[in-house]
Amino acid sequence: MCLNSQSSLAEDTQIKPCDFDYLKIIGKGSFGKVLLARHKETTKYYAVKVLQKKIILKKKEQKHIMAERSVLMKNIKHPFLVGLHYSFQTTDKLYFVLDYVNGGELFYHLQRERIFLEPRARFYAAEIASALGYLHSLHIVYRDLKPENILLDSQGHIVLTDFGLCKEGLEPNGTTTTFCGTPEYLAPEVLQKQAYDRTVDWWCLGSVLYEMLYGLPPFYSRNTAEMYNNILHKAPVLKPNVSNAGRDLLEGLLQKDRTKRLGGKDDFLELKCHSFFSPINWEDLMAKKITPPFVPSVSGPTDLRHFDPEFTHLPVSSSLCTDTLTVTSSVKEAAGAFPGFSYGDEGQILS
């Protein structure tokens, strides 16, 4: 169930952790957990990401967290990007209240089915490409596209999530140099610690599309050094079970020279015009008028069958509602480290 971002909750300028019932853990990351939560008053379901300030400060990741919040605040108007409803903080924790999406990670479905047939892979690639194109139009590079960050909603549409590695303020010809991403999907220029631009996202889309069609990332090896060598020097193996247009698109996206990569000149427009996507009506796609090729079976918002039981079986901590800390200097530092974090739907700032 994907919630729309308008909500009567915005009138409440004092949103706090105890306004929610925390029902289940549905994900975990290096800074905290994602929980299924129900707002007590409105009974609406949300995914609430709860991050520990102490860990963020220890790993010097404040910038990434504030960038994630900033990107989330810009993303409300795109159908294939997760929406932020509220953000608030306590002395020791940060809370993101997001759309709740329960069709499962693309990774989960791909693991179960091994490969997707071309029409299904095309549909997902088109929705992902339109989301990336939208981010690029806001001068944001996503930088961490991988099947684990791509969710399906209960209707079967793509929802891109996790904006922690996004880079803001990158003009069309701008470059950046931060080494980040996930090994299997790293573009050659990132791996070589060279300046890179928004075309890293098209490389990652090529890697994800390849994985959807062939079952593994294009340069995959259990040996990381060998995998990096493959990314830098080997051509992707394009077996003939994929159409000529599909193989041509993969070659264009997985072009090692970023200046020759598909999307290098006109960004998303180049992908839109590629023959692989000729069956797609882009206006209908954006309006969600194209029937998804696969609809996850979910009985309702509390149906968690598409989440990893490794998470959903974990006990929900009772400390989510409390903020009774002994005030030490490190707690004081954490408390003041995220100014301006709080936000309410419809642009209302929460105190």
What is d(CA 75, CA 71) in angstroms, rounded to the nearest whole number?
6
Q: How far is CA 351 from CA 125, 164, 344, in A?
A: 40, 24, 9
Cα R_g (the chain), whole angstroms: 20
Task: Based on the fold, state whether residues 113 and 72 are members of the same structural domain.
Answer: no
Domain shared by 159 and 25, yes or no: no
Angle at 92 between CA 86 and CA 94, to 5 degrees: 20
CATH number for the domain including 219?
Answer: 1.10.510.10
**What pLDDT was estimated at residue 331?**
65
Cα(103)–Cα(124) distance, rounded to whole angstroms?
Answer: 14
Rounded to whole angstroms, how far apart are CA atoms 48 and 116?
30
Length of the chain: 351
86/110 same-domain check = no
Predicted local distance difference test score (pLDDT) of residue 75: 65
Write out pLDDT tens, residues 129-157.
999 999 999 999 998 899 989 999 999 99
Q: What is the CATH number of the domain that holds 40?
A: 3.30.200.20
Does residue 248 form part of some domain? yes
Distance of CA 120 to CAs 2, 117, 286, Å? Answer: 20, 6, 16
pLDDT of residue 335: 67
Residue 45's pLDDT is 96
What is the spatial distance between Cα 159 and Cα 130, in angstroms, rounded to a whole number? 11
What CA–CA distance (Å, rounded) separates 92 from 51?
9
Nearest in space to 295 (alpha carbons), one of 109, 131, 171 = 109
261 located within any domain: yes
The token pair that represents 260 in the structure block: 């020759």
Output 54 or 120, whichever has higher pLDDT. Answer: 120
Residue 347 inside a domain? The answer is no
Among 170, 28, 96, 29, CA closest to 344 = 96
User: 271 vs 311, which has greater pLDDT?
Assistant: 271
Q: Which pTM was predicted?
A: 0.88
Same domain, 64 and 171: no
224 and 238 together in one domain? yes
One domain, residues 92 and 125: no
- The Cα-based distances of 283 to 270, 280, 286 in angstroms read 16, 9, 5
Domain enclosing residue 23, as ranges: 8-101+301-341
pLDDT at 341 over 50: yes
| 148 part of a folded domain | yes
Residue at a domain's end among 286, 309, 331:
286
Percent of the chain at pLDDT > 90 equals 62
Residue 260, domain member (yes or no): yes
CA distance 335 to 248: 52
Say which of 19, 92, 99, 144 is annotated catalytic: 144
Residue ending a domain, choose from 241, 257, 286: 286
Task: Decide if 349 is inside a domain.
Answer: no
**Known active-site residue 144:** yes
d(Cα 107, Cα 4) in Å, to the nearest integer? 24
Say whether pLDDT at 348 is over 50. Answer: no
Domain co-membership, 75 together with 91: yes
Whether residue 130 is contained in a domain is answered as: yes
What was the pLDDT predicted at 326? Answer: 55
Whether pLDDT at 91 is above 60: yes
Q: Are residues 131 and 240 in the same domain?
A: yes
pLDDT digits (tens, 9 = 90+) for 285-320: 999 999 999 999 999 988 999 988 888 999 998 778
Domain count, the chain: 2
The verdict on 210 and 135 lying in the same domain is yes
Whether residues 132 and 211 fall in one domain: yes
Q: Are residue 111 and residue 131 in the same domain, yes or no?
A: yes
Average pLDDT, the chain: 88
Q: Is 33 annotated as a binding residue?
A: no
Enter the tokens of residue 214: 């062939």
Taking phi over 0 as left and psi of -120 to 50 as alpha, with beta for the rest, 216 belongs to: beta
Residue 56, both tokens:
């963020």
Residue that terminates a domain, selected from 257, 286, 315? 286
In a domain, 159, yes or no: yes
Whether residues 47 and 149 fall in one domain: no
